[in-house]
Amino acid sequence: MEETLNAFDTAWSNETLGADVQFCKEEDAMSLHELAQRMLAVYSEYAALETTLPDTAQIISIEHSNRFRLLADVPPIESRIDLLELQGKNLVVSDLKSSRSRWNETKVAEAIPQLVLYATGLLPLMRELGATRIVTKFVVVTKAKKPVVQVLQPQASQDDVVRLKQTLTETWSAIQTGLFVKRESWACAQCPYKNRCLGR
Ligand code: SF4
């Protein structure tokens, strides 16, 4: 736990060195350090508990980079998967999230395409490892006074796969025609394309 908090402090110092950090209301460097401490404590407890389960998972990769084609006529997709584990015959794919509050069903449904994408790209690795099933899950750590770890294992349907492929096809054809529709949201503030897209 101390080690992970030290890693957080080092990363914070490196990332903010010389930067003019804009904090949200009632936040400062110390309150964020304390929040990180609470979140890492609850996550460490969860991770320690996981190692005591009868069918312990073996870590295959952390921050696993994967490049694959979902559709033959669309360019390859690059994914970076937080955690890959082998548990018996299951290849377990975990995506870690931090969130202000617990995820509800709507939030899970919105995020499912990400897991569908990851799982599809991992089929060759699954076979290579002798696994027979890919299990996907979200591990959400809440950013609260008393953070909790929420583990969600949504079941993707064939319909989710079809919709993902349709979205990809439509997006690629829009890119090819030069069509770009701005979708302004909270995400613009940290978007690396902000200057080109919004001109500010
Ligand atoms: S700034 Fe980024 S997030 Fe906002 S509309 Fe443009 S591309 Fe989308």
pLDDT tens digit at each of 200 positions of the chain: 789 999 999 999 999 998 888 888 889 999 999 999 999 999 999 999 888 877 888 999 999 999 999 999 999 999 999 999 999 999 999 999 999 999 999 999 889 988 999 998 999 999 999 999 999 999 999 999 999 999 999 988 889 889 999 999 999 999 899 888 888 998 898 899 999 898 86
Asked whether residue 196 is domain-assigned, the answer is no
Domain extent at residue 92: 56-179
Does residue 22 share a domain with residue 121?
Answer: no
Q: What is the torsion angle, in degrees rounded to the nearest 10, for the CA atoms of residue 101, residue 146, residue 33 and residue 151?
A: -50
Does residue 68 share a domain with residue 158?
Answer: yes
Q: Whose CA is nearest to atom 6 of ligand 1?
A: 197
Asked whether residue 184 is domain-assigned, the answer is no
Asked whether residue 109 is domain-assigned, the answer is yes
Pocket of ligand 1 (CB under 6 A): 182-184, 187-188, 191, 193-194, 197-198
Does residue 34 share a domain with residue 73?
Answer: no
Asked whether residue 101 is domain-assigned, the answer is yes
Q: In CATH, what number is assigned to the domain containing residue 104? A: 3.90.320.10
Q: What does pTM read for this prediction?
A: 0.82
Asked whether residue 199 is domain-assigned, the answer is no
Ligand 1 atom closest to Cα of residue 184: 5
Q: How far is the CA of 77 from the centre of ligand 1 (A)?
A: 20
Q: Whose CA is nearest to atom 3 of ligand 1?
A: 188
